[in-house]
């Protein structure tokens, strides 16, 4: 028990206080002990777990994926294949998003290049958006 306040924990993990409480509410972070004034008092275990959560979130894992990762990580004797699988699935997600965004970018870029100025009534962007407008 090192007795961090919620604000200190937040600062240490770059997490807003409300977010920490939110993680507690949804059962991702265990409820800590309380001081006599009913303040949350966090220990080293909370700090490391929240660090894990934030790092995984930064890498784009959903809260559900983070939960799964935490479950997997807690069993040290388990084969790490399942962790690898989760990471690879997430990688595939990212690749899909990249492809989508790239296609979008191309289309929007073509649209923007088609605009040669003038008034809205001649604007190719507006025209392209509303084919029968």
Partner DNA sequence: CTTGACCCTGTAGTTGCTACAGGGTGCATA
Partner DNA sequence: TATGCACCCTGTAGCAACTACAGGGTCAAG
Q: What residue ranges bind its own copies (CB under 8 A)?
A: 47-49, 51-52, 55-56, 59-60, 69, 72-73, 75-81, 83-84, 87-88, 90-91, 94-95, 97-98, 101-102, 104-105, 107-109, 111-112, 115, 117-123, 125-126, 128-133
Instruction: Tell me which residue has tokens 């997430």.
Output: 90
DSSP 60: T
Residue 19 CA to residue 24 CA, distance in Å, equals: 9
What is the C-alpha to C-alpha distance for residues 53 and 63, in angstroms, rounded to an integer?
A: 8
Query: From DNA, its own copies, none, which one binds at residue 62 (CB under 5 to 8 Å depending on kind)?
Result: DNA
Alpha-carbon distance 95 to 101, whole Å?
10
Between residues 31 and 85, which has the closer beta carbon with respect to DNA?
Answer: 31
Contact flag: residue 38 with DNA (CB under 7 A) = yes
Residue 16 or 106: the one with the smaller Cβ distance to DNA is: 16
Q: Which is nearer to its own copies, 34 or 91 (CB)?
A: 91
Q: Which does 73 bind (CB under 5 to 8 A by kind): its own copies, DNA, none?
A: its own copies
What stretch of H or E contains 40?
A: strand 40-41
Burial class (CB in 10 A: 0-12, 13-18, 19+), 42: buried
């Amino acid at each position: 028990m090192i007795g961090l306040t919620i604000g200190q924990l937040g600062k240490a993990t770059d997490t807003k206080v409300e977010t920490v409480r939110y993680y507690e509410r949804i059962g991702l972070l265990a409820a800590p002990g309380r001081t006599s004034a009913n303040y949350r008092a966090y220990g080293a275990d909370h700090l490391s777990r929240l660090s894990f959560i934030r790092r995984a979130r930064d890498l784009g894992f959903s809260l559900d994926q983070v939960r799964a990762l935490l479950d997997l990580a807690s069993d040290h004797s388990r084969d790490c294949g399942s962790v690898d699988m989760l990471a690879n699935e997430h990688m595939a997600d990212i690749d899909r998003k990249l492809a989508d965004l790239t296609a979008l970018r191309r289309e929007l870029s073509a649209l923007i290049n088609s605009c040669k100025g003038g008034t809205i009534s001649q604007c190719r962007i507006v025209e392209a958006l509303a084919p029968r407008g």
